[in-house]
Amino acid sequence: MDSRITAIARYTLIEAMRTRLPALVLVTLLALLASSFFMETIAVVESNRLQAGFYAASVRLASVFIAAIYVLVSLTREFNDKGLDVLLALDLPRSHYILGKLAGFLAIAALVAVAAALPLAWFSPLPAVALWAASLAVELAVVVALALFAIVTLNQLTPAASFVLAFYLLSRSLTAVRLMSAHPLTGADTLSHQLMRFMVETLALIVPALDAWTQTAWLVNEPAAWSAILPLLGFGALYVVLLAAATMFDFYRKNF
Amino acid sequence: MKSGGERAIETVPRPVLALLVIAFCLQVAWQAWQPRPTARAEALGAPASPAALRALSLGEPIALAQLLTLYLQAFDNQPGVSIPYRDLDYMRIAAWLGTLLELDPAAQYPLLMATQLYGQVPDEARQRLMCSFVHDQFWRDPDRRWRWLAHCAIMAKHRLRDARLALEYAEAITRGARRASNWARQMHIFILEDLGEIDAATVLLGGLLASGEVTEEKEVHFLTERLKALEAAGKSSPPTRK
């Protein structure tokens, strides 16, 4: 990797350390862990299962929220502090800046995923936890790449955060939307429904179905097979590349 | 970041453009290659309590009830594993419908589902269960829910061939739903007639006409003719098989 990309990635990681991201992650994990222990104590049966299920589902959402917000705020600060202007004045291709930032954020995503999965080792079998952690890492990678794309394209924090939130919610519900649109009770032949179904299916070509990723069922029921996870990992990597390319495309076209 | 417009696409390096196009094509191809989602025929879970759902709704119980209504409706309507209504746990369905009505008492949708969807299953026990559910719910808001009980009365008479049950529902409408349409409030008289209880039907019809509740001229004429026929012939139609 180009040393300039590595340097930007390294400083992105250092920035995360100095802005107390690890402390925030730790406090969040402890709070969710404490809540899961509370749930375990009030459960009458299947207390361990309930504890693992609650912790896994809530820490997944919390991790996505923290990772996305961190990327958005970090880039917004860079824009406002004019640090980006200084960097662009140097002999640094714009693509290197985006790739360096993305590499740093991907490393942060991986670290957050590992930290989130560690407590699960006490509740669930290790192979299941490893699968779950790998899936969460890829999910967070997609989220940070998406957040990077959103803030570079939309410039402002509020619209970028709204875009990321809407995209994530859609990704988590896309399969249900497709199922409902495929078999309506009435009006299946109407033009409006056909149009709506076409739009939903087109959307499904572009938006990843994140509801199939990082499933709590892998921890509390049967762990998924690695053969089932590998396509998710491959697809996640492809999606990160697509988002990185889209971000670079937008970034090259911006005037400063 | 200052935004001083956009630069031309030519400023984007060719490798970046190529990467974007290739990644996009691969992404679309990958997704298109994936099999369409299929639902799993899982058992319908029990609904949470109305109090818990109200707390979860964050002050929007009606919106939550509407979402849950669609969930329940879509549950048996899944591609590939469409579950016949007769395979559903009707006690659980009734619990769901009751919960939905607790969350949104003004809604008619759950009662429509009970009578027109789940009540249409070719299984007498399940039809009766749905009608019983509608009957129970009717008493909580008779003026707004009478038409669903009227549907059940007709269903009991013609499909279940249980005129006594039909009479029970029809009488409930007469007693409880003051704002129901006249045809629904008069239904019990004709069911009584079908049951062969001519005297009771005659008394009730005479009382209805004497009460002045029916004001439309043509309707009064029709009911008067009917009363005369009852009084003269003793019976105007053969009783329905019970």
Q: Give the pLDDT band (50/70/90) at residue B231.
A: confident
The number of C-beta contacts closer than 8 angstroms across A and B is 87
A179 touches chain B (CB under 8 A): yes
CB atoms B12 and A185 under 8 Å? no
Q: Per-residue pLDDT tens for A40-69?
A: 777 666 677 778 888 998 999 999 999 999
Residues B16 and A245 sit within 8 Å (Cβ to Cβ): yes
Average pLDDT over residues B62-77: 78
For residue B3, the chain A residues in CB contact (below 8 A) are 155, 254-255
Higher pLDDT, B230 or A163: A163
Helix (H) or strand (E) run with residue B68 in it? helix B61-75
The confidence score (pLDDT) of residue A254 equals 84
Q: What is the ipTM of this complex?
A: 0.72
Q: Which residue among B2, B9, B28 places its CB closest to the CB of A205?
A: B28
Straight-line distance from the first to the last Cα atom of chain A, in angstroms, rounded to the nearest whole number: 27
Higher pLDDT, B165 or A221: B165
Q: Evaluate if pTM is beyond 0.80.
A: no
CB atoms A256 and B36 under 8 Å? no
Look up residue A4 and give its two tokens. 């300039």
Report the gap between the CA of B132 and the closest CA in chain A (Å).
Answer: 25
The confidence score (pLDDT) of residue B77 equals 58
For residue A178, the chain B residues in CB contact (below 8 A) are 36-37
The confidence score (pLDDT) of residue A167 equals 94
Lowest mean pLDDT among A111-115, B55-59, B98-102, B128-132: B55-59
Look up residue B42 and give its two tokens. 């899982």
CB atoms A255 and B3 under 8 Å? yes
Average pLDDT over residues A153-162: 93
**Hey, where are the domains in chain B?**
42-165, 186-242
Higher pLDDT, A162 or B34: A162
The confidence score (pLDDT) of residue B80 equals 43
Q: Return the HEC string of chain A.
A: CCHHHHHHHHHHHHHHHHCCHHHHHHHHHHHHHHHHHHHHHHCCCCHHHHHHHHHHHHHHHHHHHHHHHHHHHHHHHHHHCCHHHHHHHCCCCHHHHHHHHHHHHHHHHHHHHHHHHHHHHHCCCHHHHHHHHHHHHHHHHHHHHHHHHHHHHHCCHHHHHHHHHHHHHHHHHHHHHHHHHHCCCCCCCCHHHHHHHHHHHHHHHHCCCHHHCCCCHHHHCCCCCHHHHHHHHHHHHHHHHHHHHHHHHHHHCECC
A95 touches chain B (CB under 8 A): yes
The confidence score (pLDDT) of residue A89 equals 84
Percent of chain A clearing pLDDT 70 (strictly above): 96
Q: Per-residue pLDDT tens for B20-62?
A: 999 999 989 988 888 877 655 566 778 888 888 887 777 778 8
User: Mean pLDDT score of chain A, rounded to an integer?
Assistant: 88
